[in-house]
Structure 1
Amino acid sequence: MSGNDGSLVAAVRERLAQESGPVTPDRVAAALRDTGAVVGSAAADQVAEVLRAELLGAGPLQPLLDDPEVTDVVVNGPRQVWVERAGVLQPTEVDLGDAAAVRMLAVRLAATGGQRLDDARPTVDARLPDGTRLHAVLPPVADGCTLLSLRVVRHRPFTLADLVAGQTLAPGVDQVVEALIHARANLLISGATGTGKTTLLSTLLSLADPAERIVCIEESGELHPQHPHVVRLLVRRANVEGAGAITLEDLVRESLRMRPDRVVLGECRGPEVREVLGALNTGHDGGCTTVHANTAEDVPARLAALGALAGMSPHALATQAASALHAVIHLRREHGRRRVTEIAVVTHEPGSPVLGVQTAVLSPFGAEATVGPGWARLAERIGWGG
């Protein structure tokens, strides 16, 4: 943008500041006309776009977020902006000015997501209006400069055929996961951060019978199944006085009174594990949730840790999980590629506090899927016989 255009942006910004109310595209256009500047339509569009990005979007970072190949944007300093493309972090030429400008951007983005970010509360997790996930840390917790992490959430729906074409699902594995949905199996999708758990869950829920009512419970609306009957419950954070919070545990309990056919918890990472396992043990088959774990074998330990947060004994957790969960679907990411590498069944000896998993389908990167020792149990659950 030229210097003249920069002056025009400043003039429009000043006019917008003279009136209260939300900054809308119509107000931007009106303020531009009020400046009396004679500009071509292309220049006017450019000025309006810059202002919308600055006042409504992520400012200088907005073009990066709009890039369809970008999945993450991280800011380490005013001139240290990185993006992730195809699983690889790359530096950019974006210049945010100085540390004060980075802080102002972080505070504004947090406010856009309905969260407070200041010296009294120097860290924040928020969801921007377009679905982008924001995490920000202010100094002195962040050393030197405010740190920003933005994860782009693409709402593009995927089909099973898309996931097979992209090698997320090996040929044949797609039939297994589809059968699990049709058999109303209770599913736990596991994987590390960024492996595609939410994407896979949205795709699987799209396969559910259109006559079923799906209740999705989330911290923020990430699940977007292509299904005609989906309702969503979102947590509410406490206000500045620390009151008014509605937690995931609260919402799981509320969902059971909403005539659900499937109860879906977007991510289980705390004491809500008690409620979701309880729900899946009370006749609500077809439920799903996701959990962070590095391997399928790590899932029992992860569940035990979450159960401890909920005050559950190891024996109670193992007993509940063994009867509630019919399959664990594990995802991995390597070199920017995502893949369902294992489907397992949960094992548990009666009276034992130990929970385990047994591989039913193994599907490593670059190899065909093979069955494992847990296949007979999984095949029986989906009605494929032994």
Structure 2
Amino acid sequence: MHRECGIGRGDGNLIVLQGWSIAQQHAALKREANGIFIQTLSGRTAVRVNGEHVQALHGPLSSNDQVEIGDYRLQVIDEDPPETRSQEVPATVAETPPPANEPISETKSASQALAKPDELAVEATVWRARVHAALVKQMDLRRVDVRGMSDDILRSTTIKLIDGVMEKEFNDLPKTINRRRLAKEVLDEAIGLGPLEDLLDDNSVTEIMVNAHDQIFIERAGRIEQSTVNFTNDRAVLSAIERIVTPLGRRIDESSPMVDARLKDGSRVNAIIPPVALRGPSISIRKFSKRKLEGKDLLTFGSLNPPMLEFLIMAVKERRNIVVSGGTGSGKTTLLNILSNFIPDDDRVVTIEDAAELRLVQPNLVALEARPPNMEGKGQITIRDLVKNALRMRPDRIVVGECRGGEALDMLQAMNTGHEGSLTTAHANNPRETLSRLEVMVMMSGMELPMTVVREQIASAVDLIVHQKRYPCGSRKVSHISEVTGIESGTIQLQDIFLFNARSYGGRDGKVVGDFRATGAVPEFYEMLAERGVNVDLSIFRTGAPG
């Protein structure tokens, strides 16, 4: 039997409140011998009872007390007060409706508090499926043509239909079910992305992984955890995938069971369905920040130190060709996005991507996106086709989202033929392996070039390799900034400029502990800038200078 009811933004709370000022575990209602008490746990927003700030524990609460948390107002009703209680029963939390422009909080009853979270989730899924089936039936009866409606009209029409269905057929819902939340979930599943809507709105969630309709994992602060929300069935997951890919002109079916796409906010989506996916449709969403990230954000995240940021800004402005390398999920595209925004506004930039993710702000910008083949297997436009075409568009710089194959050769040739300052990313575990990956990708172009020629092309085209690493704790750090200094005895020479030395993983919350240090090597182009009289700070390369 539960003696405590959590309040906060986290899915594990019995009372879930939304908002940036609400903490994951903001407060808690506790059953004591003499009644119900409220305890403040954390959060930017104060917990108030009848206008008074609650510092720690306050109570016992009566039904006349008004509990305020941000824009939410709660009323706690003890259904079995101490003078009449024969056994411990948690309280009911009733809601005082906020104004129309404020968030709506959730109502939790005594039976909800007594039930296990898993049981509540299963029960909510069952009722959601019933209401959704009734909604579809009602749409069929009324012959609602959803394809001819705009988003706003479709949403308002569906809301009215849901309200009518619930009032007519589901007036006897159990107390454990919140009517308004159930209506929202049915609406999201009918015309939106279902349970993914709330996860997409949660800024603390950086990645969403749907393994099956009843198994959704999320990434928070670099850590993966299982979400308490789920889809009703596989059909609901398929519907969500179709709503994502259809507006982009992409398709997904048994003949083409895999697709890369993006959401309106730029988040990257990969979906795969049966017969390739054995456990049902699967979705992977890598969310992008709702605001444009800047160089100072790298400092805030601890991804690098000020001297490294100053060096990278100068390298981009001085038209160095840069390859951003790293493993899957290390933040290569995010770093590429930030570096791209250091490009001067008077440069003409052409971006080339498989699925558009970059958000550049330069006024003279052309963004290109690859296209998969149509149902007849025709009409495919590859990254390589776009790189070749970009050379005819008079670009000052070319930014390729990621080199995976033969387009690496075209990218290197572009870097060698007057498009200095170009940027791209590549999968690799360290800077030396990045060079090996580039060699393999050039060979994938089908051009039977001698390895000596390939390495000379790479050595003359690439100036810097910026390697980003994701550590077990979830931290993402620029572990190497290395300069390609040339080729000697058939081997490409690398010189590390900055390094991150990881000392241990015993820091706060298990975070990696280490420091950023300069190796003492001064890159050749900095020496040339100094000779030209450009005001550059050579002290950032002082040996062992910690950041």
Q: Does TM, scored on the shorter chain, surpass 0.5?
A: yes
C-alpha separation in 1, matches of 2:521 and 2:158: 66
> Which one is further off, 100-109 or 243-252?
100-109
Q: Does 1:18 align with 2:145?
A: yes
Match of 2:344 in 1: 209
Unmatched segments (≥5 aa) in structure 2: 1-123, 168-178, 503-512, 531-535, 542-547
Cα distance, 1:367 vs structure 2: 3.7
Match of 1:84 in 2: 219
Cα distance, 1:129 vs structure 2: 3.6
- TM superposition outliers: structure 1 runs of 4+ over 6 Å: 1-5, 43-46
C-alpha separation in 1, matches of 2:276 and 2:435: 33
Q: 2:155 touches 2:191 (CA, 8 Å); kept in 1?
A: no
Which fold has the larger relative contact order, with Cα–Cα distance below 8 Å and residues 6 or more apart in sequence? 1
Cα distance, 1:195 vs structure 2: 1.6
C-alpha separation in 1, matches of 2:404 and 2:314: 27
Question: Which of 382, 386, 390 matches 1:251?
Answer: 386
Paired amino acid for 2:463 = H
Match of 2:527 in 1: 380
Q: 2:460 touches 2:486 (CA, 8 Å); kept in 1?
A: no
C-alpha separation in 2, matches of 1:187 and 1:36: 56
Paired amino acid for 1:371 = A
Cα distance, 1:16 vs structure 2: 7.4
Match of 2:102 in 1: none
| Structure 1 residues 105 and 31, CA gap change in structure 2 (3 angstroms) | closer
DSSP-derived class of the 2:197 partner: helix
C-alpha separation in 2, matches of 1:114 and 1:54: 22
Q: 1:360 touches 1:378 (CA, 8 Å); kept in 2?
A: no
Q: 1:190 touches 1:197 (CA, 8 Å); kept in 2?
A: yes
C-alpha separation in 2, matches of 1:293 and 1:12: 53
| Structure 1 residues 147 and 7, CA gap change in structure 2 (3 angstroms) | closer
Match of 1:132 in 2: 267
Paired amino acid for 1:362 = L
Match of 2:25 in 1: none
DSSP-derived class of the 1:176 partner: helix
Q: Does 1:342 align with 2:480?
A: yes
Aligned positions, number? 383
Name the % identity. Answer: 34
Cα distance, 1:153 vs structure 2: 2.4
* Aligned-CA RMSD value: 3.2
| Structure 1 residues 39 and 118, CA gap change in structure 2 (3 angstroms) | closer
> Which one is further off, 71-80 or 232-241?
71-80
Match of 2:10 in 1: none
Paired amino acid for 1:303 = L
Q: 1:12 touches 1:32 (CA, 8 Å); kept in 2?
A: no
C-alpha separation in 1, matches of 2:164 and 2:262: 37
Q: Does 1:29 align with 2:167?
A: no
Q: 1:313-335: CA deviations, max 9, x gaps?
A: 32222111111111111111122
Cα distance, 1:162 vs structure 2: 1.9
Larger Rg: 2
Aligned pairs for 1:1-386 (under 5 A) are 9-10=135-136, 13-14=139-140, 17-18=144-145, 20-30=147-157, 32=159, 37=164, 47=183, 50-51=186-187, 53-312=188-447, 313=449, 314-334=451-471, 335-349=473-487, 352=490, 354-365=491-502, 366-372=513-519, 374-377=521-524, 379-380=526-527, 383=530, 384=536
C-alpha separation in 2, matches of 1:39 and 1:79: 24
C-alpha separation in 1, matches of 2:281 and 2:166: 37
Q: 1:113 touches 1:128 (CA, 8 Å); kept in 2?
A: no
TM-score normalized by the length of structure 2? 0.63
